[in-house]
Structure 1
Amino acid sequence: MTMLLINGSFQIKGTQPDGDTVRFTPDDPQEWDLVTSRGRAVKHDALGRAALRLDAIDAPETHYGPNRVHQPLHFAHAARDELLSWLGFTNVQQGPDETVTAVVPDTVPGFILASGADMHGRCVALAGRGVSGGTSGVDVDVDVDMLRTTVNHHLLTTGLVYPTFYRGLFPVLRTELTAAARQAQTAGLGLWPSDTTTTGAKITALSSITDDVVMLPKLFRRLVDYLQLSNPSLVCFPAYLAGVQDRFTVLSSGKRCAGLHNVVEISNGQTVRMTQPPEDLVFEEA
């Protein structure tokens, strides 16, 4: 799979990183234009700093939406801390709003393998640490060996994030990431022993998903948006999902769907579960 290699550095002071989002600055900020030429524009500040969305993974939320709703923080913080440690940051100090107030060092060298930008202007990328050894601003063929050098792959091997695939990711890379996630799940690593995505979670209030149960972040976000509109009953949740119309393909059946209600079941008005594991779904960018 061909991706755009960009050399640069990671910075986190003054930002609110989570387990799948971090700031990156190219050595040559004009190289963001090369990503923009693939579709959407990458939003960046005057110094070239932009937010990355780490491709193919989804970490438990530390602060979702205007009300800053979180998933169980033990798991959300574990994913974030592993990301920052792997990149090379130490002594990370944060304020109560999750903003980094101090860190050693201020920046760490790294590189990204960019495939484009999402609807929020974040660069969608695989991310590596240190010096890439390649020429920045050129397309490179990303194979499984290169994929295994990225933090995206690393976080799946630790079981701290969920696999969440989009159509732009090449199947051979998706297969490798699926294998890494399943190996972590089988070994009982990270969040997997607590995961309720396919086994079912009883939801009695918003606190059920912020403090108690662990599930695929995409499902969590849809539940948060629904529960903030309605009462705790999930009876109408499938209809809500049908209206949101997340578009995806179920790999095992080849079925193309519009709406997570196609793979979500509600029982007793309070228990929700997905009928397919996260790695069996390939989403389309909105």
Structure 2
Amino acid sequence: MPVVLIKGIFKPAAGIPDGDTIRFAPFNPSLLLRLEIKSKNPRINSNNGTISLRYEGIDALEKDAVESFASQATATNLKLLGLKGVNDETEGYILASCVGTNGRPISFVFSGTTDEKDGSRIFLNPERMKDSVNYKLLKIGLVYPLFYDNLFPELRETLASTTASVRESGLGIWPKDRTKKGVTWRGPRSLAKLPPIFPKLWRRLENYTKVRDFKHRCATLRYFQEYLQTKHDRIFIVSESRFTSLARIVAINNNKISLSYLPEDIVFHRIL
């Protein structure tokens, strides 16, 4: 996968880090303009020179979820980067190909230094990806896979097979994951009490409780499919080689909601 190597300093105190996000101060901010940009330009903080990164290929539980996995993922993220805590800083680099809709580089994140030239265009293969913090968080079961269509198949396949292995081994979130088995919805107040589920689905439920057209009706899941259709989440089901939408693979039975496919079997269309 063609990516740009950008060196800098990880500065978690410049923002609010979590399991798949951290603030990063590039040594040469102009290198961010070498990334594919089709929407918002990179959002660099003019006061501290940092930008928020979005980790490629993974998705951590939201901090408001019931289990402690979100805080564990955050702490482990910092540790893997070589940081002693939120107020620490350390050198590292990212390998990125694009900037997302919110102005964040979608990145594979690496601790330490490299002799490669800052701004180099390189090809990221699965072996090198395994050195990334992204992969290490997935391998110990603290994050879910989250794939978009700009991620090259050989990288996605490696992340997917690792996810299946970690699930089978019962590590991290997986023994308590209810994505396919389903969770019971009891209105907005139940959101923070739900067992772990695919974070993308959790966020859609959270937004369902906030959107003006739906928040007065969100005590039940009766209108959730209608809400999902407004999001236009186009996806590809790998095992069936077909395109569909997120709304069509969400199963709702009275007040129980689940996904019909495993997270690693789903590839989202990324709108840049």
TM-score category, normalised to shorter length: over 0.9
Kindly state the Cα deviation for residue 266 of structure 1 after the two structures are TM-superposed: 0.6
Give 3-state SS (helix, strand or coil) of 1:60's partner.
Answer: coil
Distance 1:231 1:34 in 2: 43
- In structure 1, which of residues 72, 76, 80 is the aligned counterpart of residue 66 of structure 2? 72
- In structure 2, which of residues 155, 168, 171 is the aligned counterpart of residue 189 of structure 1? 171
Distance 1:285 1:222 in 2: 16
Distance 1:25 1:194 in 2: 36
Q: Which residue of 2 aligns with 1:11?
A: 11
Cα contact 1:40–1:116 (8 A) shared by 2: no
Q: Which residue of 2 aligns with 1:53?
A: 54
Against the structure 1 CA distance between its residues 36 and 174, is the aligned structure 2 distance closer, same or farther, given a 3 Å change threshold? closer
Q: Which residue of 2 aligns with 1:280?
A: 265
AA at the equivalent of 1:176: T
Kindly state the Cα deviation for residue 212 of structure 1 after the two structures are TM-superposed: 3.3
Give 3-state SS (helix, strand or coil) of 1:252's partner.
Answer: helix
Distance 2:36 2:25 in 1: 15
Give 3-state SS (helix, strand or coil) of 2:54's partner.
Answer: strand
Distance 1:8 1:73 in 2: 33
Identical positions, percent: 32
Structure 1 residues 68-147: aligned runs within 5 Å: 70-90=64-84, 92=85, 100=86, 103=87, 105=88, 107-147=89-129
Deviation string, structure 1 residues 104-151 (Cα, Å, up to 9, x no partner): x3x111110011111100110100000022111021011111100001
Q: Which residue of 2 aligns with 1:235?
A: 222
Q: Which residue of 2 aligns with 1:24?
A: 24
Kindly state the Cα deviation for residue 245 of structure 1 after the two structures are TM-superposed: 1.1
Which runs of no fewer than 5 residues in structure 2 stay unpaired?
A: none
Distance 1:54 1:61 in 2: 14
AA at the equivalent of 1:248: I
> What number of residue pairs does the alignment pair up?
265
Deviation string, structure 1 residues 168-189 (Cα, Å, up to 9, x no partner): 1000000111111111111111
Mapped pair 1:261 → 2:247: yes
Q: Which residue of 2 aligns with 1:214?
A: 196
Distance 1:20 1:169 in 2: 16
Distance 1:38 1:26 in 2: 21
Deviation string, structure 1 residues 142-171 (Cα, Å, up to 9, x no partner): 111110000110011011100000011000
Distance 1:38 1:238 in 2: 29
Kindly state the Cα deviation for residue 40 of structure 1 after the two structures are TM-superposed: 4.5
Distance 1:115 1:207 in 2: 39
Cα contact 1:39–1:116 (8 A) shared by 2: no
Give 3-state SS (helix, strand or coil) of 1:208's partner.
Answer: helix
Distance 2:121 2:201 in 1: 34
Deviation string, structure 1 residues 28-73 (Cα, Å, up to 9, x no partner): 12212222567652110224310000001110012xxxxxxx2125
Give 3-state SS (helix, strand or coil) of 2:142's partner.
Answer: coil
The two structures have a TM-score, normalised by structure 2, of: 0.93
Cα contact 2:77–2:137 (8 A) shared by 1: yes
Which runs of no fewer than 5 residues in structure 1 stay unpaired?
A: 63-69, 93-99
Deviation string, structure 1 residues 14-38 (Cα, Å, up to 9, x no partner): 4111111101111112212222567
The two structures have a TM-score, normalised by structure 1, of: 0.88
Mapped pair 1:200 → 2:185: no
Instruction: Give the root-mean-square deviation of aligned CA atoms.
Output: 1.5
Distance 1:37 1:209 in 2: 34
